[in-house]
Amino acid sequence: MLPEEFENRMRRLLGTEYPAFAESYDRPPYQALRLNPFKADRQAFLAQAAFSLHAVPWAEDGFYYGREDFPGRHPYHEAGLYYIQEPSAMAPAEYIEAKPGERILDLCAAPGGKSTQIAGKMKGEGILVCNEIHPARARILSENIERMGICNAIVTNESPERLSEYFPEYFDKILVDAPCSGEGMFRKNETALTEWSLEHVKACADRQDEILSCAAAMLRPGGRLVYSTCTFAPEENEGSISRFLKRFPDFALVPAEKKAGMTAGHPEWVTDAAEHIGDTIRLFPHKLQGEGHFLAVMQKKDDGRGRSNTKVGNVKRASKADCKAFAAFCEENFRKPVSEKPSVPVSFGMKKISEGIYLMFGDQLYLAPEDTPSLQGLKALRPGLHLGTNKKNRFEPSHALALFLDQNAVCRSYHFSGDREKARAYISGEAFPAEGEKGWYLITVDGYSIGWGKLSGGMMKNHYPKGLRRKL
């Protein structure tokens, strides 16, 4: 049952389209996944995937899957080959047009779908700051960054106001997937339905104004800002953008190509609409295969000043002593790239392991992107790629490192090739008998890394994290 006030408003706004809109709530929602370009070759995955897939028209790596499919219960999910994501939610990150080497902020990032999508475009180069104000959601965000094998992401748990003080005009691009009344998710999220009210819509719109003002302060001149919501409410969509452009005349809307089924924003739905508000984009469930969304692309006027490093110092690097145990681990477990021999592949993992900045947080060693700013005073859950733990006289590799590495990077690996039941048993925490040289092994399923094992005495000890173990 849709809220009566919501129905009345949508009937007034949509007019003759309202019956088709209302009928869409009688259909089940569409399901989709997005391939991870770090892990999955598109053609190889499509050839071997046991799912019924067809392309999402507005997302390069997005695919609908069938109702008979359960990709969340497949070992490929734990290997980070894909992210299960509502199809309309894939649109905003595409319009960021992320490129390698940029500084990008996902300001309201949990649970991580859009952050991991942006990371795939960055190809491990540049700095991606993924922020979430709520601690529990920030931890979920960090786990998804880890699962997808992302090396250049910094996960923070801060308010937009705090970040804006710390990063003035620092980022090339910012995504604000704003907290909203969630009207577009009524078909999928019962909580959004039960919590809805006109007062909640107004409160969300006020908060969106505050968040957008913080984003404006963090964007460099000439930079791109993408704003999105999963609501139909004009106050939170065309209204939020119109109010923002009035407060910040150095920003302008960028005309963005509308993909199949997308429609223009509606200036007639708000008072005092900004010029060109029709260049914003709406996604309606009765016009495409996805839920309700809104997005706007804006650019800050380029005055030639470029990015600023004001108040952003250099991060404190780990000492050689801090890295000694890890260096010994690398010497024992990693293959050395040999460029003179083209037949020996130099994996993505090995290439990046030799670059970046090493950081110590307690006994935890991280590899941060080059030019990582000082994080002192910020709540940083993940300052880059977690490499592992310095223990007494030894180094224990992290699960994040396993998911980051290609099988060609390591000296020893154990493959569950075509035997996914054994892979499922490993993910549930089971040890298993194995033969081979004593030491650390990268465990893979069909060649994709899913974790570590340590072989000794004919048994492979399971190092899949206890907190992530589950029956698939």
Distance, in Å, from the CA atom of 438 to the CA atom of 29, rounded to the nearest integer, reads 49
Whether 411 is catalytic is no
Which one from 230, 323, 330, 411 is the annotated catalytic residue?
230
Q: Are 346 and 207 in contact (CB under 8 A)?
A: no
How far is Cα 160 from Cα 344, in angstroms, rounded to an integer? 46
Query: What is the amino acid identity at position 365?
Result: L
Helix axes 113-122, 135-147, angle to 10 degrees: 40
Give the chain's length.
Answer: 472
- Which pair of tokens denotes residue 344? 């020996």
Q: Tokens 């219960």 belong to which residue?
A: 73
β-pairing, 281-283 with 219-229? unpaired
Spatial distance between the Cα atoms of 70 and 80, rounded to a whole number of angstroms = 15
CB burial of 93-117 (b: ≥16 within 10 Å; e: otherwise) equals bbbbebeeebbbbbbbbbbbbbbbb
Measured over the CA atoms of residue 336, residue 338, residue 343 and residue 345, the dihedral's sign is positive
Burial 345-355 (b: 16+ CB within 10 A, else e): ebbbbbebbee
Give the containing element (helix H, strand E) for 118: helix 113-122
Q: Which residues contact 34 (CB under 8 A, 6 or more apart)?
A: 56, 59, 61, 62, 63, 82, 83, 85, 90, 113, 116, 117
Apex CA 60: angle with CA 58 and CA 65, to 5°? Answer: 80
Query: If DSSP codes are grouped into helix, strand and coil, which group holds residue 393?
Result: coil
Query: What distance in Å separates the CA atoms of residue 311 and residue 114, rounded to the nearest whole number?
Result: 28
Q: Measure the CA–CA gap between 318 and 356, rounded to whole angstroms.
A: 11
The residues annotated with a catalytic role in the active site are 230
